[in-house]
Amino acid sequence: ERGAILRKIAAGVQAGREQLMHLQSSNNGKPLFEAAIDVDDVIATFEYYAGLAESLDAKQDRAVELPTDDFSARVRR
């Protein structure tokens, strides 16, 4: 679920990429090619953390290996 939310944010930024580039350029005085790099970095960051969240979600409710059989543990959300 967390990964899906982060991917939706990335998609929203991608959908408004051109507008965000122009806003970044006019607000900060950056050339458009630098603003494009910044916006693309935002998209990539949200995609990266979405992947991490999905990876962590896939590991939920798995047994945790412990050094002794006297205890047991499971990964929970």
DSSP H helices, the chain, are 2-15, 17-28, 32-58
What is the pLDDT at residue 19? 98
What is the pLDDT at residue 39? 97
Better pLDDT: 13 or 69: 13
pLDDT in tens, 16-42: 999 999 999 999 999 999 999 999 999
What is the pLDDT at residue 70? 79
Q: Are 65 and 75 in contact (CB under 8 A)?
A: no
List the domain boundaries for the chain: 2-58
Average pLDDT along the chain = 90
Q: Percent of the chain at pLDDT above 90?
A: 65
